[in-house]
Structure 1
């Protein structure tokens, strides 16, 4: 499985990024993958390789490149309950500094770079994200309705409430899957979100993954749930295959 580190030119510098893609010479549909708040690290590289094995060129940028190359802060190999407070004390200022304006500027750069890669086929792309990356994925898809055909977000926020949510969803043309943790969303809040998606005419699936807590896809944390990670693949891969026309086998 070919993989490499790249530098993506942006309006604010260069974002380091990881890319994985199939080891055949053909071109493949592109997928922009946004990391969770813990950033680009080995578990994200593993997930990118897994997805690339199904016939996609997967690009995972360092969201916090303005503060240094990944890993921007020192992370333990396993991020358990004891390590979490100190880790997020360092990360929260970076997350808070990543404003919506920065997100959209970066998204423009990431998509332009992704679609220019010689291994990426012409046509629409997909965007997926985890935790805060789910919100970034939704904002990216909404800002690029003619280019992003599918968007998926897992255990993360998917947009503000009220008018901000309606504004976000109003331009969304991509097919959507949202996989929520039980601890992130009540059934009532899920109903409100799904009503907003219905009102906006979005083609979507949105569900709470049973028995999960926030971060359930990440195997380097104590939130990891193997069954939920598999459910995530079972939802994500068919979505990408049907929207991007992937014929890879």
Structure 2
């Protein structure tokens, strides 16, 4: 999962990022309204952790922008405020959940996972497409009922393809989603090609259909019409 943490308390933001990185999440940080707005204009995220009180604006205004621009990211509001009207305004404004500081990081993690399941995985931890089954809780993949020997990055790559099936995904977007926004400045994305190649080879070895096709000059697509 790729998460944008919008929090002006750098120590807290760093602590959240370190914890989620330990859970194999990709985290990007924004310490104010404007930098968050810029990141949202350039990159995509599965979930956004959004503080209400920012030094140059209000998190609820950023939430309005997120929904106005039809950004599909899940939004979890984090705030020191415990006022009922803040919760109501946040949830009615389109936030998916709300947590009040101080909070326990495992609880934050659980809320993020729940949002991701609802928004991206239709509420389930099991993602099934024909002979392929992914379990996001155990981080295991099956092909034709046989365990697929994949790395964490390969698992995340396959999940990213299935969640975005039939959409052309550029190498740059794949790199950004799985390795972070810093990859935007890289000269090439040969490492993406290698990961895709390895994943396709492993699926084929278990007699799975090679749904991943190369769209020359653009990137890759998980083509559900293949049989």
Say whether the fold is shared (TM-score over 0.5). Answer: no
Higher RCO (CA 8 Å, separation ≥ 6 residues) = 1
- TM-score normalised by structure 2 residue count: 0.38
More helix by share: 2
- TM-score normalised by structure 1 residue count: 0.35
